[in-house]
A and B are shown apart, each in its own frame.
Chain A
Amino acid sequence: DAGVTQSPTHLIKTRGQQVTLRCSPKSGHDTVSWYQQALGQGPQFIFQYYEEEERQRGNFPDRFSGHQFPNYSSELNVNALLLGDSALYLCASSFQGSDYGYTFGSGTRLTVV
């Protein structure tokens, strides 16, 4: 049973560029959440997608946007990259309303130069 799959593993982008990160949830999960983790910090909630809609959003600017597809996979898009966007981006999947907690992927390491 495949867990959460994220791609790419690592990415280097130039300031001002745009980036797209991808996530496939664990089989049976229908909800995807995205987190940003800066070095030495805990993960910060970006947003959550369920039924192809953004359901909740953390304190992130509109440069961060996302999408969820009918197969429950999701994309995170970041426009006009800043140096401060350099971080580990984590995707977590869950089943809406279940008690079984979240399953995380291995993350995408984004470096903005």
Chain B
Amino acid sequence: KQEVTQIPAALSVPEGENLVLNCSFTDSAIYNLQWFRQDPGKGLTSLLLIQSSQREQTSGRLNASLDKSSGRSTLYIAASQPGDSATYLCAVRSYSGAGSYQLTFGKGTKLSVIP
């Protein structure tokens, strides 16, 4: 059974600081990994998708890396802004049998960027 862990559970940083969020998963046989952002009480917004064959993906100030063999991914946020304050969720897509895939989430990292 795939398990996803995110560390730290919460993080508070001053505006402008660079930061790293960590995600680890127990089964390295993944199809891809997706990072999401969730604002309080809202749905999930996809930030970056990394295929199992890729090492990293970049979008603006965000960079996500994937080391499938060690079961780890990191989300790097450069020059953080107060608008980046949200919960960041890591999810891995794994084959679950009968031609289907399943997405397994971590509990998220709650980020607060202080002006």
Contact = CB atoms under 8 A, between A and B. Distances in A.
User: Which bracket fits the contact residues of B?
Assistant: 20 to 34
Contacts of B46: 101-104
Interface string B28-65: 00001010100001111110010100000000000000
A14 to B, nearest CB: 22
Interface residues of A, number: 28
A92 B102 CA distance: 11
Contacts of A7: none
B11 interface: no
Interface string B92-109: 010011111011111110
A67 to B, nearest CB: 17
B93 to A, nearest CB: 7
A50 B108 contact: no
A11 to B, nearest CB: 14
Given A42-B105, A43-B44, A109-B41, 8 more contacts: A40-B107, A42-B106, A56-B98, A92-B103, A101-B93, A102-B46, A104-B45, A107-B42
Interface of A: 4, 6, 33, 35, 40-45, 48, 50, 55-56, 88, 90, 92, 96, 99-107, 109
